[in-house]
Structure 1
Amino acid sequence: MVDAREVNLGLDLCLRVGELLLSSGAGAADVTATMQSLSYALGLREASVDITFTSLAMTYQDTPDDIPIVSTRQVKQRAIDYEHLTRVDHLVRDVLRGDLDLRGARTELGRITSTGHPRARWAVTLGWGVMCAGVGVQLGGDWAVIGLALVAAITIDRIQLRMARRRMPSFYQQVVGGGVATLIALGVSATPISINVSQVVTANIIMLLAGIGFMGALQDALTGFYVTATARLTEAFLATAGIIAGVSGGLSIGAVLGLEIPRLQPGEYSLQTVGMLALGSALAAAAFAYSCYAPKRILLPIALVAGTAISISGTLQNAGIGRAWGVAIAALFVGLVSFSVSGWMRVPPLVVVVSAVVPMLPGLSIYRGLTLLGEGGSSIPEGLLAMTAAISVAIALSSGVILGEYVAQPLKREAQRLETRLTGPRLVGPVDHVVRRDRWRRRRTAPDGSQTDEVA
Structure 2
Amino acid sequence: MNNITYEEQTKITRAIIKAAVLMLEFGAESKLIEDTAQRLGRALGVDSVEVSLIPSAIVLSTLNNNQTQSVTTTRRAHHKPINMSIVCDVQKMCIDVEREKKDVDYVFNTIKEIQPNHYNRWLVVFMVGLSCASFSYLYGADLNGFFITFLAASVAMYVRHVLAKKQLVLIISFGITAFVATLIASTSQIFELSSTPNIVMTSSVILLAPGFPFVNSVLDAVKGYLSMGWGRWMQALLLSVATSIGIILAFALLSMRGW
TM-score after normalising by structure 2: 0.87
Mapped to 1, the partners of 2:141 and 2:101 lie a distance apart of: 51
What SS is found at the alignment partner of 1:51?
strand
* Aligned position for 2:168: 168
Matched, 1:130 2:130: yes
The CA deviation string for residues 84-111 of structure 1, in whole angstroms up to 9 with x for no partner, is 2222222222222236443333322221
* Aligned position for 1:88: 90
The CA deviation string for residues 367-414 of structure 1, in whole angstroms up to 9 with x for no partner, is xxxxxxxxxxxxxxxxxxxxxxxxxxxxxxxxxxxxxxxxxxxxxxxx
What SS is found at the alignment partner of 2:176?
helix
- Supply the AA of the counterpart residue of 2:230: T
* Aligned position for 1:253: 253
What SS is found at the alignment partner of 2:75?
strand
* Aligned position for 1:121: 121
Deviation at 1:222, TM superposition (A): 0.7
Mapped to 2, the partners of 1:78 and 1:252 lie a distance apart of: 32
Q: Could you tell me which runs of 5 or more consecutive residues in structure 1 were left unpaired when the two chains were aligned.
A: 264-456
Mapped to 2, the partners of 1:227 and 1:137 lie a distance apart of: 40
Matches within 5 A, 1:259-408: 261=257, 263=259
* Aligned position for 1:243: 243
Matches within 5 A, 1:31-110: 31-63=33-65, 68-98=70-100, 100-110=102-112
What SS is found at the alignment partner of 2:60?
strand
* Aligned position for 1:112: 114
Deviation at 1:170, TM superposition (A): 1.7
Mapped to 2, the partners of 1:43 and 1:58 lie a distance apart of: 16
TM-score after normalising by structure 1: 0.52
The CA deviation string for residues 33-80 of structure 1, in whole angstroms up to 9 with x for no partner, is 111111111112122111110111211232478553222222112211
Match of 1:2 among 1, 4, 17: 4
- Supply the AA of the counterpart residue of 2:138: Q
* Aligned position for 2:19: 17
Q: Could you tell me which runs of 5 or more consecutive residues in structure 2 were left unpaired when the two chains were aligned.
A: none
Larger Rg: 1
Distance 1:214 1:191, change over 3 A: same
What SS is found at the alignment partner of 1:213?
helix
What SS is found at the alignment partner of 1:250?
helix
- Tell me the matched-pair count: 257
Mapped to 2, the partners of 1:233 and 1:48 lie a distance apart of: 24
Matched, 1:194 2:158: no
What SS is found at the alignment partner of 1:44?
coil
What SS is found at the alignment partner of 2:204?
helix
Seq. identity, %: 20
**How large is the RMSD of aligned CA atoms in angstroms?**
2.4
Distance 1:185 1:195, change over 3 A: farther
Distance 1:87 1:36, change over 3 A: same
- Supply the AA of the counterpart residue of 2:57: S
Mapped to 1, the partners of 2:6 and 2:34 lie a distance apart of: 22
